[in-house]
Amino acid sequence: MKKIICSVAVLAVLVFGACNSTESAKTETAAENKALPDGAAIPFTQATHYFVRNDFKDGQLEDPRITTKAGFDAIFGTAATMGRDGQPTPIDFTKQDVIAVIDSVSDDAVSFENPTLQKDGDYLALSYDKTKGAKQSFSTRPFLLLIIDKKYKQTVIPVIKK
């Protein structure tokens, strides 16, 4: 009899705890978004298997944050390749925004590396390394694409670390 009562009590605690933790997690997330401390890291996913469309003009991207699929598709196309990891990173514009940094067309091998995104006052500071490599026999338009949650509404300021 004691085993049954203990089992029911433990089960009741787990059920009530699970229901309560979901609600408190939502409250903590909402509070966390409002009062993130300066320097707090903002989570992101780096998007792969996209390219900048040929009709993109320098200066066309006034704001690095892209909030709609139509706005994204006006600038980027998909570059799927064969194989398991060849699909473009999925983006759900109902829940996510994209931060884009697009460089000028160059025949140098240019890459953006080590991106970090941090809260800096009323802004999000996107820092990254820009590495210039050897000359190529063709031209490319280097870019960086980060996917972030829509809950981070602050203006994005790109900063080159080196």
- DSSP H or E segment with residue 96: strand 96-102
Confidence of residue 20 (pLDDT cuts 50, 70, 90): very low
Residue 38 pLDDT exceeds 90:
no
Highest mean pLDDT among 15-19, 81-85, 138-142: 138-142
What whole-number distance in Å separates Cα of residue 49 and Cα of residue 59? 23
Confidence of residue 102 (pLDDT cuts 50, 70, 90): very high
pTM of the model: 0.75
Confidence of residue 6 (pLDDT cuts 50, 70, 90): very low
